[in-house]
Structures are given as C-alpha cells and as structure tokens.
Amino acid sequence: MPITLKSAEEIAKMRRAGRVVAEMLEACATAARPGITTADLDKVAREVLAKRRAKSNFLGYHGYPAVICTSPNDVIVHGIPGDYRLEEGDIISIDCGAIIEGWHGDAARTIPVGEISEEARKLLTVTEDSLWAGIEHVRKGARLSDIGHAVQTVAEGAGFSVVREYVGHGIGRAMHEEPQVPNYGDPGKGMKLKVGHCLAVEPMVNLGSPETQLNDDGWTVITADGSLSAHFEHSIAVTEDGPEVLTVLD
C-alpha cells in the first residue's frame, strides 16, 4: 500500500473518529480507580463507542478480543482487559481506537491510579513530553525520522529507554497504514512530510532497559526486566498550519 494523502474532507472524518477516541480515553481515565478491573474499563469504552455510533478497530483485529488495550505497570502495550483489579499506586496504559464512516482514530495514555511514586510520575511526564516533542515535527517539510529522533532525545535525556520493537504508523482508512514511525533514530532521514499525511505517533518508554518480552497469550508485551513502562499516543494530520492533533476532545 502506498502512503496516501488525505483531503480536508477526509481529515474532517478522522477528526470525528479522533474525538470519539479522546472521549473513550477520558471516560476510562475517570473510571481508573483502585478496585476496578480492566474488563470494567473495556465496558466503559464500549459504552462510548455505542453512544457515538462508532465502530471498534481493535475488536477482531487479528482476533483481538476487546475494544481497548489495558497495560498496567510493567506491561508495555497490548494488555488484554480481564480480571486484573487496579491497585492504588499502579500506572495503567490505556490504548483506544474508533472508526467513523470508515475513518480511523487511535490514541493512548498512561494513567496514575491514586497516589503513585515520584519515579512513576516522572516516567509519565517524560513519556508524554516525548510524544509532544515528536508531534512538533509532524509538519510540512520535516523528515519522517525527525519525529523519532525528537522522541528519543527527550526520553533518553531523562534517563529512560525507548522501546524499538513497536512503532507508530500511518493512519486513515486503516488503523495501521504505511509508513512505520519509530520512536528513535537519526534526524533528517526518510520521507518528507506533506500536507495530508496522517500519522499515529506512540512512544513506549521504559524506566529500565528497552528490552521487551511477549507473554504466552500472544498479545501482552512486558518489559524484560520488570520495570515500569508508559505509552502515550495521538493521531495527527499534517496541515498547512502545522500539526493538527485529531485525538483530542472538542
């Protein structure tokens, strides 16, 4: 599949999908209190999808069984909602997606459950900062690798490590389109971004080593050293006026 440019009308539909995703994340963040299960969070997200008459892009994706991913503590990404009960002091990464009129949105954020450690708080702040540093380069004339370089500089500058095995992606009529968007690398390489390119940028940042391990369920990705991991993601369009983050509330 070639890398496609989206028209203003198409971006308007992606914006609507993005609003639904932001609403799912907001509802899950509010619900993420000690005692609630990750399956409860999936239910909260399903209710938003139903209310907005949006479809799930996660459910059934290569057989995936839920509408969100819930990844607590040392889980990096793709944790499956189930009977895990959130505890005071946990961090939990929630990844949400939605489809409106065939157009996709995808976003994630890591949420503190009650009072969390200073170390965990710093991991969350730095990972979100690294995402925004990357978003800054989702603009006309920038090179694809400028994004990952900016992410890596912020994350590693704070003493954390960046996951290599999982990357961001193009987004549009499919959740995962070309190109891949790594969260590391040298600047000034790869394709030149144009108005109409739409990307999901999604740094996964570990407190310890960057190595990952896949659990037996075939989905859940954890840190090899058991350290905490955070994940922040937005879907972004390149516009004449710079980056437009699509996965935000109105």
Q: Residue numbers of the site for ligand MF3 (CB under 6 A)?
A: 58, 61, 64, 69, 78, 95, 97, 106, 200, 202, 233
Residue numbers 210-229 binding Co ion by CB under 5 A: none
Q: 45: which 2 tokens?
A: 């997200």
Residue number with CB closer to ligand MF3 (23 or 202): 202
Residue number with CB closer to Co ion (36 or 185): 185
Tell me how many degrees the CA angle 214-219-225 measures, rounded to the nearest 5: 30
User: 105 near 235, Cβ under 8 Å?
Assistant: yes
Residue number with CB closer to ligand MF3 (102 or 141): 102
Residue numbers 8-37 binding Co ion by CB under 5 A: none
Q: 154: which 2 tokens?
A: 């912020």
Distance between CA atoms of residues 85 and 103, nearest Å: 33
Least CB distance from residue 58 to ligand MF3, whole Å? 3
User: 138 near 199, Cβ under 8 Å?
Assistant: yes
Stated as kind and residue range, the H or E segment containing 71 is strand 68-72
Query: Which among Co ion, ligand MF3, none contacts residue 97 (Cβ within 5 to 8 A by kind)?
Result: ligand MF3
Residue number with CB closer to Co ion (8 or 214): 214
Q: Is residue 200 part of the contact set for Co ion (CB under 5 A)?
A: yes
Q: 220: which 2 tokens?
A: 């859940």
Query: Which among ligand MF3, Co ion, none contacts residue 61 (Cβ within 5 to 8 A by kind)?
Result: ligand MF3
Distance between CA atoms of residues 28 and 180, nearest Å: 27
Binding site for Co ion (CB under 5 A): 106, 200, 202
